[in-house]
Amino acid sequence: MPDLIDDIRAQLATLQEQRLLRQRRTVDGPQGPLLKLDGKQYLAFCSNDYLGLANHPALIAAAHAALDTYGVGASASALISGHSSAVEELETELAAFVGMPRALHFSTGYMANMGIIPALVGAGDTVFSDRLNHACLIDGARLSGAEFRIYPHNDVARLEQLLAKNTSPRKLIATDGVFSMDGDIAPLPQLLALCEKYDAWLLVDDAHGFGVLGPQGRGSLAHFGLSSPRILYMGTLGKAAGVYGAFVAGDATLIEWLLQTARSYIFTTASPPLLAGALLATLKLLQTEDWRQQHLRQLIARLRAGLANLPWRLLPSETPVQALVVEDNQLALTLMEGLRARGIWVPAIRPPTVPKGTARLRISLSAAHSAEQIDQLINALQELSVLNY
């Protein structure tokens, strides 16, 4: 055991030397554009609460009402006694919201993809994965036992070459809808066309698109006006939706199959019903108030215009995820600390979360931000660019 601990201690030291050691920060109080971290208040551009709903009074009131009705915990798996009427209603409303026949609720997006992929494909089948897909899609594909083929980011031509040569009985194309570290949108119409041409399924992880893209925030499929029984749509509920959890929607038969076979659904305690109550309030807000998405688009345009002349590369993105690539790990940390000293919190993202040589500041915008707060960030980065370039 001492030898093992010494080995791990040395590995941690190596991470520190490479400027790759992560540090957890303690948040005191609610999420919002102003965040209290380690006892100090910052202007925060680090949250996935893209619509600023995490503390909305309607969600809080709905959670309280559900708490009074259902109590705190679900206390059992969904297939025993944990599936509440609140979650049943939520699944029905989610399916209608994204325009699909049926939906199934999961504890998290990670749990969803870890269950979906192995339930659909296995040994002898093939999963085709974008190189920049989220870790849960990658891990779900590896867990399935299917052949795992990676295609270059958003490279539809290369993907078609791989599909044309493939003879697997089941083929699954897996992609983020919005890529979490770059902020760009997958070419979903072209991917669906390949599915139809080569008899494949399309799994879209829309963790960062649900609530943001498309009419009323109905997601990346609605953004492109896409609908097909070949598509399984996974959306998370802890980002723009402001609460917690995830769901997968699609053909009713496929959803029933997932209910019967997805291990991460079957063998886990169901989520607390009070979360479903809050999420039902979210769906009502999305369908009746679209000013948040409009304001968010204005903030995105303002930020991009203000950062256009920086010496670092701002990746193309029309979403709240704005990636400022500075390449060097230490520079990313230096800029993060420079912003922190100015009362602004923006995380430095380094490998292995992003490819080697693409360290960056990941700027997350929210509809809760003001134009003046965006200008504060722009001015701070302009100052830092003079000092660090």
Binding residues for pyridoxal 5'-phosphate: 109-110, 180, 208, 236
Entry field: residues in the chain:
389
Pairing of strands 321-327, 344-345: unpaired
CA-wise closest residue to 145 among 125, 167, 123, 128: 123
CA-wise closest residue to 344 among 371, 376, 321, 369: 376
What is the token pair recorded at 103?
């939906």
Residue 171 appears among annotated catalytic residues: no
Residue 75 appears among annotated catalytic residues: no
Catalytic entry in 208, 223, 295, 369: 208
Residue 308, classed as helix, strand or coil, is: coil
How far is Cα 106 from Cα 370, in angstroms, rounded to an integer?
Answer: 33
Catalytic entry in 239, 264, 295, 369: 239
Q: Which residues contact 303 (CB under 8 A, 6 or more apart)?
A: 322, 363, 365, 374, 377, 378
Residue 239 appears among annotated catalytic residues: yes
Q: Which residues contact 53 (CB under 8 A, 6 or more apart)?
A: 59, 240, 241, 242, 243, 282, 285, 292
Cβ-contact 150, 188 below 8 angstroms = no
Report the catalytic residues. Answer: 180, 208, 239
